[in-house]
Structure 1
Amino acid sequence: MRTERLVVANARGKYLALLLCALAFVAIGALIVLRQPGLGGFLIGGASIAFFGAGAVLFAFQLLDRRPRLILDDDGLNDRTLGVGIIPWRDIADARLLTVRGHAFVCLELRNPEHWTDKLSPRQRRLAALNQRMGYAMLNVNLAGAAVDPQAVLQRILTYSAMYEPGRG
Structure 2
Amino acid sequence: MNEIKLYKSKWKAIRLMLICLPFILGGLWLIYNQHIIIGWVLIGLFSLGIIAGLVNLLDRKPQIIINETGIFDRSAYKDFINWDIIDHAYWNTSYKQAFVCLIIKDEFKHLIEGNEKLRELSKAMGYEEINIDLGPVRNIDHEKLTGLIVNLASAKPAERGSLINKALHRSTDQLTDKTNER
Alignment TM class, shorter chain as reference: 0.7 to 0.9
Q: Which amino acid aligns with 2:111?
A: H
Q: Which amino acid aligns with 1:42?
A: I
Cα shift readout 1:105-140 (whole Å, capped 9, x = no counterpart): 1111112233132xx5x6xx6644432232211111
Q: How does 1:15-164 map to 2 (within 5 A)?
A: 15-35=13-33, 37=34, 41-111=35-105, 112-117=108-113, 120=114, 127-147=118-138, 148-164=140-156
Check the 8 A contact 1:71/1:77 in 2, yes or no: yes
Check the 8 A contact 1:90/1:164 in 2, yes or no: no
- Say which SS state the counterpart of residue 135 (structure 1) adopts: coil
Q: Which amino acid aligns with 1:141?
A: I
- Say which SS state the counterpart of residue 108 (structure 1) adopts: strand
Check the 8 A contact 1:95/1:157 in 2, yes or no: yes
Superposition deviation, residue 15 in structure 1: 0.9
Which structure 1 residue ranges, 5 or more long, are not aligned?
none
The root-mean-square deviation of aligned C-alpha atoms, in Å, is: 2.1
Paired with 2:118 and 2:136, the residues of 1 have a C-alpha distance of 20
2:5 to 2, 7, 22: 7
Report the identity percentage.
25
Q: Which amino acid aligns with 1:100?
A: S
Paired with 1:43 and 1:75, the residues of 2 have a C-alpha distance of 53
Cα shift readout 1:43-76 (whole Å, capped 9, x = no counterpart): 4323321221111111111111010000111010
Q: 1:129 to 1:59 in 2, by over 3 A?
A: farther
Check the 8 A contact 1:84/1:116 in 2, yes or no: no
Superposition deviation, residue 154 in structure 1: 0.7
Paired with 1:55 and 1:114, the residues of 2 have a C-alpha distance of 37
